[in-house]
A and B are shown apart, each in its own frame.
Chain A
Amino acid sequence: MTPSLDSYVMLSAALFAIGFLGVLIRRNTLVIYMCLELMLVAATLALVAFSRFNGTEDGDVFVFFILTVAAAEVAVGLAIIVALFRARQTVQVDQLDSLKH
């Protein structure tokens, strides 16, 4: 008895929602970034499940590209965060309010 496609998609949606919640309620830029990664992983889980249950392989190949883009994104994003920390001595989003008013 294998788990159905529905359960995989529900799990992926739950992971995505948790990551989204983290992006909304956390104030630390690094933790927000980790939650973004969580959302990406949730999307890849859904892709792999769909391609397994439909017998196609394109989803599996697409996950490769998602992983590559995620790696590039993390490198650039963390460099931006470090540059931001050098300029402002903080990574809390509520103190980074230069554009607010």
Chain B
Amino acid sequence: MEHLAFTCLSVFSLACALGVVLSKNAINGAMCLLLCLAGVAGLFVQLHAYLLAFVLVLVYAGAVVALFLFIIMLLDMQGGRTWKFRGLNAAAGFVAALLLITGLNLLAVRGHLEAGPPIGNSVGSSLKFYSYQLFTTYLLPVQIIGFLLLIAMLGVIVLSRRAPQPEDAK
């Protein structure tokens, strides 16, 4: 049963990921990304990381994809003509991705990962555990990440300010 769910979710995620890469229109790509993230969130639920699945949907599907859609609307790109094969580049891309897949595949087949069944009851679902970890072991990273977010916010404000136009200067 669990295996069936895993197969369905992984096929769904892979298909949607391919949709992101191959769709002509950027809007369709963003929608495929949303569905792919939903599939990955389902896989997180299977791995008993319920809170992470929730955060993934909240942050990625809720914020990041919405931001992408907003920017696509803002830039008003003409869809349709964006995806074209350019002989050499596309061939190089496929060869590189194929090499990556074969390399990782060999690694997974030859270097068999030693892992038994999942250990015990995962604590991944407990919010208390996360907050304990974040405020004890990972206190410094949390503060650094907060600082990073502040810097990112300032950077976005500076970047999105309209540069003075030449006619404004006159």
Which A residues form the contact surface with B (CB < 8 A)? Answer: 1-11, 13-22, 24-28, 30-31, 33-35, 37-38, 41, 44-45, 48-49, 51-55, 57, 60-61, 63-65, 67-76, 78-83, 85-86, 91-92
Could you give 5 example pairs across A and B, Cβ below 8 Å?
A13-B108, A35-B20, A60-B49, A67-B56, A82-B71
Residues on the B chain within 8 Å of A19, using CB? 17, 20-21
Question: Given B30, B93, B141, which contacts A21 in the complex, CB threshold below 8 Å?
Answer: B93
Q: What's the dominant secondary structure at chain A's contact region?
A: helix
Residues on the B chain within 8 Å of A45, using CB? 40, 43-44
Q: What's the dominant secondary structure at chain B's contact region?
A: helix
Measured in the bound complex, the distance between the Cα atoms of B18 and A79 in whole Å is 26
Which B residues form the contact surface with A (CB < 8 A)? Answer: 2-3, 6, 10, 13-14, 17-18, 20-21, 26, 29-30, 33, 36-37, 40, 43-44, 46-49, 52, 55-56, 59-60, 63-64, 67-68, 71-72, 74-75, 77, 82-85, 89-90, 92-94, 96-97, 100-101, 104-105, 108, 112-113, 115-120, 122-124, 129-130, 133-134, 137-138, 141, 145, 148-149, 152-153, 155-156, 159-160, 162-163
| Contact assessment for B133 and A61 in the assembled complex, using a CB-CB cutoff below 8 Å | yes
Considering the complex, give the chain A residue whose CB is closest to the CB of B51: A60
| Contact assessment for B97 and A38 in the assembled complex, using a CB-CB cutoff below 8 Å | no
Measured in the bound complex, the distance between the Cα atoms of B82 and A2 in whole Å is 42
| Contact assessment for A91 and B77 in the assembled complex, using a CB-CB cutoff below 8 Å | yes
Output the residue of A25, A35, A75 with the most chain B CB within 10 A.
A25
